[in-house]
Amino acid sequence: MIGDARSDVRVTITGLGAYAPERVITNDELAQMVDTSDEWIVERTGIRERRIAADSQALSDLSLPAVRQALEQAGSDGTDVDLLIVATVTPDMMFPSTSALLADQLGATDAAAYDLSAGCTGFMYALAQAYGMVASGLSRRALVVGGDVLSRILDWSDRSTVVLFGDGAGAVVLEPSEEAGFLAFELGADGGGGEHLWLPGSGSRKFDDPDRLVKMNGREVFKFATRVLVSSAEAVLERCDVSVEDVDVYVPHQANVRIIDHATKKLGIPSERVVINVDRYGNTSSGSIPLALADAQADDRLRPGKLVLMTGMGAGLTWGSALMRWTEG
């Protein structure tokens, strides 16, 4: 699916927030649990540490501080949010949805609220949906949360996955705007590659003795990731007739520094325009892009007028890009 912003109603991000749990797990700590080393993890992934949720913290607990921060920036107390989408593969529980729980905590009594599952690309899918609802006039103030507590579904004896992931959440507020904001989206899925990153026993399909823990074929996902980060970004840029030199801030899914470097070089984006925080958080799945956006904002890189390119990829297999002109809010 690809489309540019043709609607009369322009839509932008008016608030942004992020939260990661306090507990830090370093590579050296992981090396005490599985057969790995700080050297291997840094060389193959660029990750140095990640945050892990406390036993008492579910996704809604990680999301709420991010949501409150985003709402404060948008000048809202949350009661006027009319759409709340949580992108995740680790909701508090299958139902009630985490979004319904959050809407209740905010007092957003008029909000449509639902969770969305598109692997690590979930935030990009949710962003596109919220964009569409605001652009059509169906929503006036939408809240999009991307977050995961992947530590709950990892096999802590599998060195090929535990070293990669971390927990975290981010949130953005979308509203109609005088200025441009979102320019285009490109989203896609290839279920044929689904077997390379999957969670057997997590749904209605029966398995003999499922352990309900993440299984991944890292090499296949690596190949897929390096391909789609480039093709999706190129598609959205071409759709807007924008050259890669015009991109001021590139926010790729934070999975692995080697994947990001590969995409950056292939696309021809100078490294100083790339946002990277995977070294500090690992891959936080749906939390990855909003956490990186929040870091870029904290570093004063998201100034009005800047052209921002975001691309996510993940389980499904799925991918998605958005191009936007950052606005005053």
- Nearest alpha carbon to residue 145 among 118, 168, 172, 120: 172
Catalytic residue among 27, 256, 277, 283: 283
What phi and psi, each to the nearest 5 degrees, are found at residue 284? Answer: -100, 20
Residue 90 as a binder of ligand UT7 (CB under 6 A): the answer is: no
- Nearest alpha carbon to residue 92 among 165, 155, 166, 149: 149
Residue 193 as a binder of ligand UT7 (CB under 6 A): the answer is: no
Least gap, CB of 94 to ligand UT7 (angstroms): 22
Catalytic residue among 120, 196, 256, 277: 120
Q: How many CB atoms lie within 10 A of CB 153?
A: 17
174 within 8 A of 134, measured Cβ to Cβ: yes
Residue 188 as a binder of ligand UT7 (CB under 6 A): the answer is: no
What phi and psi, each to the nearest 5 degrees, are found at residue 14? Answer: -110, -5
Query: Which region, judged by CB under 6 A, interacts with ligand UT7, from 36-44, 72-80, 261-269, 289-297?
Result: 36-44
240 is catalytic: no
Residue 221 as a binder of ligand UT7 (CB under 6 A): the answer is: yes
Binding to ligand UT7, residues 107-126 (CB under 6 A)? 120
Residue 132 as a binder of ligand UT7 (CB under 6 A): the answer is: no
What pairs with residue 322 in β-bridges? Answer: 185, 310
d(Cα 22, Cα 51) in Å, to the nearest integer?
A: 7
Q: Which of 314, 316, 320, 329 binds ligand UT7 (CB under 6 A)?
A: 314
Least gap, CB of 304 to ligand UT7 (angstroms): 31
Least gap, CB of 223 to ligand UT7 (angstroms): 9
Taken in order 5, 187, 123, 292, the sign of the CA dihedral is: negative
Residue 254 as a binder of ligand UT7 (CB under 6 A): the answer is: no
Least gap, CB of 40 to ligand UT7 (angstroms): 4
Q: Which of 160, 200, 213, 230 binds ligand UT7 (CB under 6 A)?
A: 160
Catalytic residue among 27, 196, 253, 277: 253
- DSSP H helices in the chain: 27-31, 38-45, 59-74, 98-106, 122-135, 159-162, 218-239, 257-267, 278-281, 288-298
Binding to ligand UT7, residues 268-307 (CB under 6 A)? 283
Q: For residues 65 and 218, which CB has a smaller minimum distance to ligand UT7 in the complex?
A: 218
Residue 40 as a binder of ligand UT7 (CB under 6 A): the answer is: yes
Supply the Cα-derived Rg of the chain in whole angstroms: 18
Which residue minimizes CB distance to ligand UT7?
Answer: 218
Q: Which residue has the tokens 């596109």?
A: 128
At position 56, the amino acid (one-letter code) is: S
What 3-state class would DSSP assign to 151? helix
Binding to ligand UT7, residues 223-252 (CB under 6 A)? 225
Note the residues at the interface with ligand UT7 (CB under 6 A): 36, 40, 44-45, 120, 159-160, 163, 216, 218-219, 221-222, 225, 255-256, 283, 314
